[in-house]
Amino acid sequence: MKKEIKKIVVLGAGAVGCYFGGMLARSGKNVLLIARDNHVNAIKKHGLFMECQSFQEHVAIDASSTMEGVADADLILVCVKSQDTKIAMQEIKALTNPDALILSLQNGVDNTERISQVISNKVFPAVVYVATSMSGDGHVKHFGKGELIIGNMSQSELASLELQKICDLFLDANIPCAISEGIQRELWLKFLVNCSYNGISAIGQISYGEMAQQENIKKLIDDLTAEFLLVAHHESIDISAADAKMVNEQIAKTMAGQKSSTAQDLMRQKPTEIDYLNGLIIQKATQYGLDVPNQKAIYALVKMLENKQKC
């Protein structure tokens, strides 16, 4: 059986990584955040400031801007952007203990595959539902939710035992966490939200709750969802129209004040993950000979805004 998880490294500690890493550290776990210099410097001086719904405090936590800290990690939480996944894995490959477990807390549905193309460690996917943003150097703000759904692609008995250890670790830190036997479907349900909400939020710099109050935007979400479900069906993912409607409506209520990660990226003039969200749906639709004009429009507009920043 896998040894005890003693050290956790958060790779790419932005808003999501800082929130979950901070919660783990706050519960007494040994956590290292690997983040940008500005965040690392602030955290080293004052700790990680967590502005959460139930508490606001500086949490003592280790931080570094280099990769060396992964060498003795028992669990690595991968929180880098999808486009940075392979590069990050290549950087840590020679340093990582072969027994270390990897949990992907990333947007999209194919990051575990991308990780496994580079590194041979056991990799588990996580579906993340949390509303957070970085409000300053070393300052993470929590707007709502904060739960994880994790799963085991291999279905081996050993992997299931290791997954339970990861789940228990989060539960001990007051992070709601559940193990799903149908993790692929759960990933696609979250992917649906990414592909129906993220781009619109980014283009309009608008929150999920504001989107749901506008009839024309609700109609666009419905149209994006219908196209998404066409692709999901061809991928043998069992999501009904009723399931999709429920998930979309739930996000607008439980994360009403949140702007998407894509919106936050554009606001900070950073590259978005749109190629791995709507872009991936378009790629798969093309493979199946499907027409997804609304997905293409959202993708084109976000790319236009991205390219405008480069000028």
Q: What is the CATH number of the domain that holds 115?
A: 3.40.50.720
- Domain hosting residue 282, numbered range: 184-310
| Residues 69, 251: Cα–Cα separation, whole Å | 36
Residue at which a domain ends, from 181, 214, 245: 181
pLDDT of residue 155: 60
Which two structure tokens, joined as six digits, stand for 82? 């999808």
Same domain, yes or no: 130 and 93: yes
| Residues 160, 36: Cα–Cα separation, whole Å | 33
Residue at which a domain ends, from 181, 214, 240: 181
Same domain, yes or no: 177 and 66: yes
Q: What are phi and psi of 132, to 5 degrees?
A: -145, 165
Q: Is 224 among the domain residues?
A: yes
17-40 per-position pLDDT tens digit: 999 999 999 999 999 999 999 999
Give one word for 145, left, alpha or beta, with left for phi > 0 and alpha for psi -120 to 50: left
Q: Is 260 among the domain residues?
A: yes
Same domain, yes or no: 302 and 188: yes
On the question of pLDDT at 171 being above 80, the answer is yes
CATH code: domain of residue 281:
1.10.1040.10
Total domains present in the chain = 2
The predicted model gives 216-228 an average pLDDT of: 97
The predicted model gives 237-249 an average pLDDT of: 96
Same domain, yes or no: 224 and 264: yes
Q: Is 2 among the domain residues?
A: no
- The radius of gyration of the chain's CA atoms, rounded to the nearest angstrom, is 19
Same domain, yes or no: 162 and 13: yes
Give the 3-state secondary structure of residue 131.
strand
Question: pLDDT averaged over the chain?
Answer: 95
Pairing assessment for the beta strands 48-51 and 56-59 based on DSSP bridges: antiparallel
First to last CA, the chain: 54
Q: Other C-beta atoms within 10 Å of 270: how many?
A: 13
Same domain, yes or no: 170 and 238: no
Q: Is 152 among the domain residues?
A: yes
On the question of pLDDT at 174 being above 70, the answer is yes
Q: Is 164 among the domain residues?
A: yes
Same domain, yes or no: 155 and 203: no
Same domain, yes or no: 176 and 73: yes
Q: Which of 106, 129, 83, 104 is nearest to 258 (CA)?
A: 129
Same domain, yes or no: 154 and 137: yes
Residue at which a domain ends, from 163, 181, 199: 181
pLDDT of residue 293: 98
On the question of pLDDT at 1 being above 70, the answer is no
Which two structure tokens, joined as six digits, stand for 136? 């300053």
| Residues 161, 276: Cα–Cα separation, whole Å | 31
Same domain, yes or no: 238 and 118: no
Helix (H) or strand (E) holding 252: helix 241-254
45-57 per-position pLDDT tens digit: 999 999 998 899 9
Percent of the chain with pLDDT over 90: 90
Q: Is 263 among the domain residues?
A: yes
On the question of pLDDT at 144 being above 90, the answer is no
Same domain, yes or no: 252 and 170: no
By residue count, the chain amounts to 311
Q: Is 1 among the domain residues?
A: no
pLDDT of residue 53: 86
Same domain, yes or no: 170 and 206: no
